[in-house]
Amino acid sequence: MEALPTNPAAVRELIAELEREKSEDKLGTYKPYAKQKAFHEAGATYRERLLIAANQSGKTFAGGCEVAYHATGKYPNWWKGRRFDKATAGWACGETNEVVRDAAQRILIGRPGAQGTGTIPKADILETVSARGTPDLLDSIKVRHIDGGVSIIGIKSYQRGREAFQGESLDYCWCDEEPDAAVYSEILTRTNINAGPVLITFTPLKGMSEVVRRFLIEKSPDRSVTSMTLDDVDHYSEEEKKNLLRAIPRMSARPVRRVFLPSAVVASFRLPKKA
């Protein structure tokens, strides 16, 4: 065994090298929280999954890790979710070109200029294809799969509309933040052939939309909902959690708005006298 360096400069260099190696293989060090793990495991049973969670709670990272597992085939020993034994074709989607670049794409491969520091190990990134019109946005990522094949991850944004989601056949799709109903319907169609998993990770900011209603109201044996709050994560101290909660605007005791319902109005009438 090689002796560890004692020279301060050499020690700093060794630490930097270890940190670099760690940053380029985040997938190998991912240890999910209980709710993240439950979300992954639901994939073995449910085709459609929703991880509904607070901002900065680790929901996007969980989605990015699952996509990296499907693309590389490097499932960990603890994995009990859906598995693919061959190279895959999937999508990672977000609200706009800029948002999907700064969120899902960043989680998968790292920031511009730091490619290989995301959930896909640097050694497994074979090629990245740039998209047109938005700086640093990718069209697709080619990833080495353990079976020797090449997986493809397409980067898509909802702003392109439903038409941009037509035509392809996919093994899976990851929606980071909520798509509208038309886009989500098209995504389900793209994954129909293999009954591929569709996973959604988002913070509920649009109220009771059609997609939210689909998961929370329209129950189905094909759908699963996992809720994760700040109490379910460990990367914040208790004081930081309190500060984050205090920063959330409190709901007024008054109604946000009044709704006039003509059907609830009746013509005036005289009450009968008490007998």
Determine the pLDDT at residue 259: 42
- Give me the active site residues, please: 177
Query: Distance from CA of residue 246 to its chain's centroid?
Result: 25
**What residue spans define the domains of the chain?**
46-234
**Domain 46-234 in CATH 3.40.50.300:** yes
pLDDT in tens, 162-204: 999 999 999 999 999 999 999 999 999 999 988 999 999 998 8
Other beta carbons within 10 Å of 130: 11
**Residue 239 has what pLDDT?**
82
pTM (2 d.p.): 0.81
Express each pLDDT in 55-72 by its tens digit: 888 999 999 999 999 999
Q: E strands, the chain, where?
A: 48-53, 89-94, 125-130, 138-144, 150-157, 172-176, 198-202, 223-228
What's the CA gap between 74 and 65, in Å, rounded?
A: 11
What integer pLDDT is reported at residue 267 of this predicted model?
61
Q: How far apart are alpha carbons 255 and 220 in whole angstroms?
A: 33
What percentage of the chain reaches a pLDDT higher than 70? Answer: 80
Residue 117 CA to residue 107 CA, distance in Å, equals: 8
Supply the pLDDT for residue 257: 46
Mean pLDDT estimate for the chain: 86
Residues in the chain where the model's pLDDT stays below 70: 1-24, 246-275
